[in-house]
Amino acid sequence: MTSRYETGTRTRRAVLGDAHVDRSEKNRTPFDAEFIALITESAWGSVWSRETITKRERSMITLSILASLGHHEEFVLHLKATRNTGASMEDIKDALLHVAIYAGVPAANTAFRIAKQVYAEMAQEAASQEKA
C-alpha cells in the first residue's frame, strides 16, 4: 500500500513540476521538515490526490482562494502550475471574476495584475524554448 506521503509527493510533482519540488527538497531543513511532510501528506496526499474533481478544477478553486486571501506568492506558484493541471487562461479569468464578486474588487484587481505579469513571463519562456 502506498503511503499518503508518497501519493502526495507524486501529486505535488505532477502539479508543481519536478524542478519546483526538487528545489523545495534541496532547501528543506530540520526546522521545516515536519511542515513539508505535513503539507505533502495533507494538501497533496489527501486533498489534491482525490478524484472527485479534476486537477483543472482544483487549480481554479485554489487560485480563487489564494487571490481572495491575498497570498500572492502562492498565487504565482499555482498559476504557473496551470501548465500541468489544464486550467486555461479563460478558466482563471472566470475564477477571478468570481473573486471580484465574492471576495472583493481589490483582491481580484491585484490577482488580475499578477496573472497578466505571470502569463507574459510564461509566454516569453515558451517562446525562448521554441527557439532553442
How many domains does the chain contain in total? 2
Over residues 2-31, the pLDDT tens digits come to 799 999 999 999 999 999 999 999 999 999
- Shared domain for 77 and 125, answered yes or no, is yes
Q: Look at phi and psi of residue 26 and say left if phi exceeds 0, alpha if psi is from -120 to 50, else beta.
A: alpha
- Shared domain for 58 and 96, answered yes or no, is yes
- Shared domain for 63 and 115, answered yes or no, is yes
For residue 38, pLDDT beyond 90: yes
129: confidence class by pLDDT, cuts 50, 70, 90: confident
131: confidence class by pLDDT, cuts 50, 70, 90: confident
- Shared domain for 36 and 93, answered yes or no, is no
DSSP string, 57-108: HHHHHHHHHHHHHT-HHHHHHHHHTHHHH---HHHHHHHHHHHHHHT-HHHH
- Shared domain for 46 and 70, answered yes or no, is no
- Shared domain for 118 and 71, answered yes or no, is yes
Over residues 56-68, the pLDDT tens digits come to 999 999 999 999 9
| Domain final residue, candidates 15, 37, 52 | 52
- Shared domain for 98 and 39, answered yes or no, is no
- Shared domain for 79 and 112, answered yes or no, is yes
132: confidence class by pLDDT, cuts 50, 70, 90: confident
* CATH number for the domain harbouring residue 74: 1.20.1290.10
Percent over 70 (pLDDT), the chain? 99
Over residues 68-105, the pLDDT tens digits come to 999 999 999 999 999 999 999 999 999 999 999 999 99
- Shared domain for 2 and 24, answered yes or no, is yes
Q: Smallest Cα–Cα separation from 82: which of 69, 95, 71?
A: 95
- Shared domain for 41 and 65, answered yes or no, is no
- Shared domain for 60 and 41, answered yes or no, is no
Model confidence pTM above 0.85: yes
| Domain final residue, candidates 11, 35, 52 | 52
DSSP-based helix, strand, coil % in the chain, nearest 5: 80, 0, 20
- Shared domain for 18 and 45, answered yes or no, is yes
Give the domain extent around 10: 1-52
Over residues 96-125, the pLDDT tens digits come to 999 999 999 999 999 999 999 999 999 999
